[in-house]
Amino acid sequence: MKRFRLAAPLAAAVVALLPGTATADVTYPDPQPITGQQIIHDPTVIHLKSGGYVAYSTGGIIGARTSKDRVRWDDAGNAFAEPPSWWYEYNGTGDPWAPDISYRAGRYWLYYAVSSWGTNHSAIGVATSPTGLPGTWTDHGKAFTSETTDSWNAIDPAVIQADGRLWMSFGSYWTGIRMVELDPRTGEAVQDAPVHHLATRPDAPYAVEGPYIVKHGRYYYLFASYDACCQGVNSTYKIRVARATSVTGPYTDSTGKPLLEGGGDLLLAGHGRFVGTGGESIFKDRGRDVLAYHYYDAEDAGTPKLGLNPLSWKRDGWPVVL
């Protein structure tokens, strides 16, 4: 789960940039209405080749939801019939967080994290499936790890292909968002590959996590969740975005401020009953981009629920939530 990771502790209506940061005064759109099983955390969604949709999420297991129309969602159990034994090296309950699903080379690929609160003794695992559906996944073990001697945290993975190479962004608190190259054959990190630094904040505890990168036009866009999740109606999660001409950065916001210096345009924040919007991912549906995220429902005791909104692109290339 995209969590507080340190031991110590759209239509846009009016844009009013504050000095030194790309914060906007906006009217945020509500998520599209959905029915069925709405409870979810850190959703990753894909439109399956066979038709329909599947979403995977955090929550004690890698929970699965399926839908035929992207409106009604049904509980579909767990990605895995049983937790792989190596998960217990990282927490006592075999609890995975923040999955990421993608399709390439004729297979579906599922990345996910295993860790525990307050430590960066963490690992990102990888599994494959011929269909993408729960119960069909074969786990292949660790793709990348971090230890307490590292200055990053190997959780919240998201994979992107760029210029014929495969990359994985990841990170939560510590020094923020990082990136490493993957071997496309195994899906694991290239041995001794450099770990690139994409985003951080100047203020401790460096509350940025959950990256997701997409390409639009000539730019790569890095979306990330800022501030605190997992506190129900007290959550302050929000989604910011920046862009770069190279997948490894440097990423800057619309004012030119680097993400490595605390920049980032505010894309979506809590409003009304929809508190703590974050844990985002993006998927293609019939040629259009869709933003998936969770929010905490202030009218339902802060229960985390699935948010879905079309993601459009303005003439200047920046994304906007509809």
Catalytic center residues: 42, 209
Distance of alpha carbon 80 from alpha carbon 39, whole angstroms: 19
C-beta separation of 208 from 163 below 8 A: no
Query: Which residue is listed with tokens 């979810």?
Result: 40
Distance of alpha carbon 178 from alpha carbon 107, whole angstroms: 26
Query: Which is nearest to 55 in space by CA: 295, 293, 288, 267?
Result: 293
* DSSP state, residue 27: P
Cα-based distances in Å from 278 to 40, 144, 218, 226: 12, 24, 25, 8
Bridge partners of residue 298, in order along the sequence: none
C-beta separation of 71 from 85 below 8 A: no
Terminal alpha carbon distance of the chain: 26
234 phi and psi angles, rounded to 5 deg:
-95, 0
Distance of alpha carbon 148 from alpha carbon 30, whole angstroms: 40
Q: What residue type is assigned to position 129 of the chain?
A: S
Q: DSSP 3-state helix, strand, coil percentages of the chain (rounded to 5)? A: 5, 45, 50
80 phi and psi angles, rounded to 5 deg:
-115, 140
Q: Say how far residue 28 (Cα) sits from the centre of its chain.
A: 20
